[in-house]
Chain A
């Protein structure tokens, strides 16, 4: 009997006067012990499914039609009291942000006890059960852990504690909403393995919600691909991953830069997923506006789900299969070796950064932090150099050192032959003209009170390097160069989408025509399709302007796609460096090997063993 089955579930929301179907005709079937992956980009509605299961819908949202049955019981008709009985006991949840998932003022023991009390565990057994639960998620010294607070644990450890709590009741169903998105690559692999092993052990049915198609394909038995609230493709994971039929699923795959195999140009779908407002106006296929093979019929009437294989269904018109296939994407031009006469833009010699510890009030000095240990780096014109590492590796500090936002403790920084210094000095002008930084969080990097046109040409207000010419014209130029629509100039940052904000960020940095861009995790928060647009933009900029980029990221596939050379950082040390292809194909250092292993493979049929021979210290 099916554990959880949804049948034509439709969730609608009130938007002003109209009602919009946030989820439309969702159907799926989860057998006991099965893992169902729900894949989609942000705004697709995948979290909404979790909310329908937990019946915690925001105001104005309600189920318009359809049914949702859990173990034979109609969830939608259940009373709130019955629902509360099920939640935490037979249906468990694990969150996206583990660090904020535990109450910071209560100990782990307090929170565990509360949960076990709710499950009806007698007081005498609670400590035992808590320790056993923590041990089952491979946390070291569980008895000591009980007295800790959540802020004393890392993100990975918090997530394990939450998983322990979730499995403490031996639930029949687990809903995991992006449980690894906030974690580092290696930690992600560990957590995913953990969930998988617990699933096999307890025979728990799992709904695994994620935006990462490759990850979902690895651990899920079935896949459901969501777009704008509709299921556009579903079926056994291997089938959907190996042979996607819907143009969107194909585009998703094609937008993910490959870690191995030939490097093909990323396919970037234009624009982005329609938001709630836009959905109200759409007739016909919701994907039609971005679909490369849509025709008049697609745009006027809703396609229905058709079966194309064993349990494999697709919501598309029958003629679509003739559309573009994966093999048709052009290969990236092989990197022509840079002429050794290409001018050196940046040269770092023995640069390091050490933060001395604070002085306690009775005079002793606490231990300091070596954020970046001494290293050398040379970047030539037109070269893209990547820096990979996890959080705490020092890569952001490196970016700030190069930009001059931090003063190096030792070493020299030479920019186009001139030694540079920190803000305020005369040499600062030179630096400002040559290098610019694109920050990670466009929300934080754009002044919310200024219009886009002012932000793009902010450099014109600079007294250090005054720009000449017509400001408005330059703004238009920059906007079109980065693929922004012309009407965006008069808007404010809060009216832009994430992708648009990031482009404004990049365009602003380009205004001064810098030779070197420092990009600190600029695509991390973006959807895959938007990420592809930005990456292609950067490649085009290299062609047109011969610009160099120091590209900092935790995402190895992106770095491989973009960068000729790479530095791998671990705890402040540059542990490996060289040409990207060499390093990724033949890693020497144990950490690099662990990193590469932790990335889910991009081709079906490749095996994934992320946790072999861990030589690196797993504090997560």
Chain B
């Protein structure tokens, strides 16, 4: 089974490599045609022309584009994504610190969003024709009309400031000591047996995860509900009823397994959107992740850092799509034997 999966995914994986290559080239070109000169921004106003030229040479900005790209690529293949122009530290290092934060946030957000979305979709189907369905529907429309950052602001105000029940700054109480391991605090705290720390991490995750999950859930809800309707009209559902099988079993065993397939494709697409939402959520919650890093980098016009962050985003999205494809293949036997 693993081999068939790999075989079918193989095409996807093979395409990803040239895809990343193309993406990095495009990025490189786009970023080098900025209207303002990033080098000049790095130096104080008293800098002389020689200082500017020296800085430019140090970063290699004076060389022709293809050569610059070549240098960068060689470094990238060795894991070195260059130096941040603003902080003079290794881009790879900064990413290694920031990526787990964002990943933890997004993964929890996707999981929570799926839970909410799928239960909402099921509920809307079970309550079809009743007032509860319309109420859920309106609620879901309102939920998706509030973008992540507005939810974040609302949560900070409600649960952080006015009713201070949950923390809204950072990932963990600074007084808690964590041996720096994977960077995924949920895992780290559990692995080191630090239950108090684990709970603290959860409390810090609560608000930001809700902020990204709530706008994500309604899309899932709608697609699941609509595919449940489609599946409900299928002949095999009718026949299962005629064999005397109970409604609950029909819904959960027969219908859900079929209806969930279109939903999975949507999860992949929506999760890609979620990254955009994390930009502001991380700023609002002072979350030390890639989004926060990105906004800072854009404000500083820190090209190497921007390049590194965007490429990382692409890699993550690609891996995510691979996972989505893999789950789709596992759940849909029709594609397996093709």
Our verdict on whether A and B bind, yes or no, reads yes
A residues touching B (Cβ–Cβ < 8 Å)?
Answer: 54, 56, 84-89, 92-93, 95-97, 100-106, 114-115, 118, 149, 151-152, 162, 165, 361
> Given A105-B331, A106-B257, A361-B10, A118 and B239 touching (CB < 8 A)?
no
- Which 10 A/B pairs are nearest by Cβ-Cβ distance? A88-B243, A88-B244, A87-B244, A100-B235, A93-B242, A103-B236, A84-B244, A361-B11, A101-B235, A105-B257
Residue contact B333 to A56, C-beta cutoff 8 Å = no
| B242:A149 contact, CB within 8 angstroms | no
B323 at interface by CB-CB < 8 Å: no
Is there contact, CB below 8 Å, between B239 and A95? yes
A162 to B243, CA, bound (A): 11
**How many angstroms from the CA of A351 to the CA of B5 in the assembled complex?**
41
**Is the CB–CB distance between B235 and A97 below 8 Å?**
yes
Q: Is B243 touching A87 in the complex (CB atoms < 8 A)?
A: yes
Across the two chains, which residue of chain A brings its CB closest to B10? A361
Chain A interface main SS type:
mixed
Alpha-carbon distance A104/B261, docked complex (angstroms): 12
Please, could you name 9 A-B residue pairs with CB atoms under 8 Å apart, sorted by A? A56-B238, A88-B244, A88-B245, A102-B236, A103-B240, A105-B258, A105-B334, A114-B253, A152-B337
Q: Does B254 belong to the interface (CB within 8 Å)?
A: yes
Choose one: B11, B236, B238, B245; the contact of A118 (CB below 8 Å): B245
Closest to A93 in B: B242
Judge if B32 is at the interface, Cβ distance under 8 Å. Answer: no
* Nearest neighbor of A99 in chain B, beta-carbon distance: B235
Q: Given A105-B331, A105-B333, A162-B239, decide whether A100 and B244 contact each other with a Cβ distance below 8 A.
A: no
In the complex, what residue of chain B is closest to A166 when comparing beta carbons?
A: B243
Chain A residues near B236 (CB, 8 Å)?
Answer: 100-104
Contact between chains at A86 and B333 (CB < 8 Å): no
Interface contact tally, CB-CB below 8 A: 67
Shortest CB distance A75–B (Å)? 14
Question: Quick one: given A100-B234, A103-B236, A104-B334, are A115 and B258 in contact (CB under 8 Å)?
Answer: no
- Taking CB atoms, residues of chain A closer than 8 Å to B44 are none
Contacts of B14 in A (CB 8 A): 361
Name the distance in Å between A14's Cβ and chain B's nearest Cβ.
Answer: 16
Given contacts A95-B238, A100-B235, A361-B11, contact A105 B332 (CB under 8 A): yes
Q: Which residues on A sit within 8 Å (CB–CB) of B241?
A: 56, 87
Nearest chain-B residue to A89 (Cβ)? B244
Please, how many angstroms separate the alpha-carbon atoms of A152 and B257 in the complex? 18
**Is the CB of B35 closer than 8 A to any CB of chain A?**
no
Partner of A88, one of B235, B242, B249, B254: B242
In addition to A56-B242, A95-B239, A165-B243, 19 A-B residue pairs with Cβ atoms within 8 Å of each other are A56-B241, A84-B244, A87-B242, A89-B244, A95-B235, A95-B238, A100-B236, A101-B236, A103-B240, A103-B257, A105-B258, A105-B332, A105-B333, A114-B245, A114-B249, A115-B243, A115-B245, A361-B11, A361-B14
A96 vs B235: C-alpha distance in the bound complex, in angstroms?
9
A478 to B: closest C-beta gap in Å? 37
Most chain A beta-carbon contacts within 10 A, residue among B11, B238, B239 = B239
Chain B nearest CB from A492 CB (Å) reads 24
Distance, CA A361 to CA B254, complexed state (A) = 34
Task: Tell me the complex Cα distance, A165–B253, Å.
Answer: 18
- Nearest residue, chain A, Cβ from B241: A56
Cα–Cα distance between A87 and B243 once the two chains are bound (Å): 5
Min distance, Cβ A80 to any Cβ of chain B, angstroms: 10
- In the bound complex, how far is the Cα of B246 from the Cα of A162, in angstroms? 19
Chain B residues whose CB sits within 8 angstroms of the CB of A105 once the complex forms: 257-258, 331-334
Residue numbers in B under 8 Å from A101 (CB-CB): 235-236, 239
- Within 8 Å by CB of A85, from B242, B244, B254, B333, lies B244
Complex interface: chain A residues within 8 A of B334 (CB)? 104-105, 149, 151
